[in-house]
Amino acid sequence: MTVNLLDFDADGLSAWFAEQGEKPFRARQVLRWMHRFGEADFDAMTDIAKSLRDKLKAKAVVAPPAVVSDKVSGDGTRKFLFDVGGGNAVETVFIPEDDRGTLCVSTQAGCALDCAFCSTGKQGFNRNLTVAEIIGQLWQANRALGADPKGERIISNVVLMGMGEPLANFDNTVKALRLMLDDNAYGLSRRRVTVSTSGLVPAMDQLREACPVALAVSLHAPNDKLRDELVPINKKYPIAELMAACRRYLEKAPRDFVTFEYVMLDGINDTDAHARELLAATRGVPCKFNLIPFNPFPGSPFRRSQPERVRRFAEILMVAGIITTTRKTRGDDIDAACGQLAGQVQDKTRRTAGRTFPLQEVRH
């Protein structure tokens, strides 16, 4: 059987090489070729003996998911759509800023958690992405973005905030994270790799032990009644338990705060009273807030909060001493904004029965 070497983290690759009777340093060399230099052709791995290259060619491939579309927005945001088989596609977004370049990566085709305001959730769940499909997004984006003439990293940050819930695809996500951090692969700092979760409490505890990186938590509501509606997983892991998990996570996290994401929904969760309730709910958790203006998609019942409302909401948090940023909506001309990642996914859960997807993708 042919194996895809992009499915292995460093330990997995060493183990596979050992099974082939090859030394660990050979695995490291191949890891570097694949991930540091973006090489998929064994024959181009010039410091590997011909006999080993022939063996690799017979037994293995380096196969990232294929790019099916690649679009650049007016603001420089670039969106890649990847084929992940079976008629499914997932999206990856590159967001250039003055001091960094952030790649927003997907971890599942669809998502089972069905948050009320999320187009991925509305597509239902299809399947977990493989390690090769997760790390392959970074592999392909690196290649497409090309080398920086000054030798600086083009992709300096990765956020797992694309389609899917990373902690619901735990093992593959952790292997991909390890590759992102590995000096023989992408060598990113733990502080510059962020997992975003809707609050899977047991998996947050596991992540803290397995591979602590920066953490963002999608909070979106200040009390359980509202959060139960907006983020249904709250019924299983309510806010008090989630806050306790955040505090435990911070014991081992590379940063000393959690980022709470909060989508601003007009008239739903955006009043002064909600902001004050939020301060009480998050008391005792070192945190920052990132307010996300809601990005509408066809069929969604919500409206984006007015800018003045967002400003006032942020002010209440700031006056209480919590650093609060408001996410600029970027890439919305190419449907690359948060929650608009509407790649084509076959809905195995039939959540969308009677509706047609893709929502927006085919318009371009």
129 scored as a contact of ligand SAH (CB under 6 A): no
8 A C-beta contact, residue 100 and residue 153: no
3-class SS letters over 63-118:
CCCEEEEEEECCCCCEEEEEECCCCCEEEEEEEECCCCEEEECCCEEECCCCCCCC
Answer for which of 215, 338, 345, 359 binds ligand SAH (CB under 6 A) is 338
Per CB under 6 A, 120 contacts ligand SF4: yes
The length of the chain in residues reads: 364
CB of 204 to ligand SF4, least distance (A): 13
Q: Which one among 9, 91, 133, 165 touches ligand SF4, defined by CB under 6 A?
A: 165
Residue 294 partner contact from ligand SAH, ligand SF4, none using kind-dependent CB cut-offs of 5 to 8 Å = ligand SAH
- Of 263, 281, 310, 314, the residue at the interface with ligand SAH (CB under 6 A) is 263
HSE-up of residue 202 (Cα within 13 Å, Cβ side): 5
User: Pick from ligand SF4, ligand SAH, none: which does 114 bind, CB < 5 to 8 A by kind?
Assistant: ligand SF4
Q: In DSSP terms, which residues pair with 22 in a beta bridge? A: none
| Element housing 169 (H / E) | none
Does 117 sit near ligand SAH (CB under 6 A)? yes
Can you tell me which residue has the tokens 């070497």?
5
Q: For this structure, is 91 an active site residue?
A: yes
Residue type, position 37, single letter: F
77 binds ligand SF4 (CB under 6 A): no
The active-site residue, picked from 115, 261, 338, 361, is 338
Q: How far is residue 238's CA from residue 102's CA, in Å, rounded to a whole number?
A: 31
Q: Which does 261 bind (CB under 5 to 8 A by kind): ligand SAH, ligand SF4, none?
A: ligand SAH
Catalytic residue among 91, 133, 165, 261: 91
Of 115-123, 206-214, 251-259, 350-358: span binding ligand SF4 (CB under 6 A): 115-123
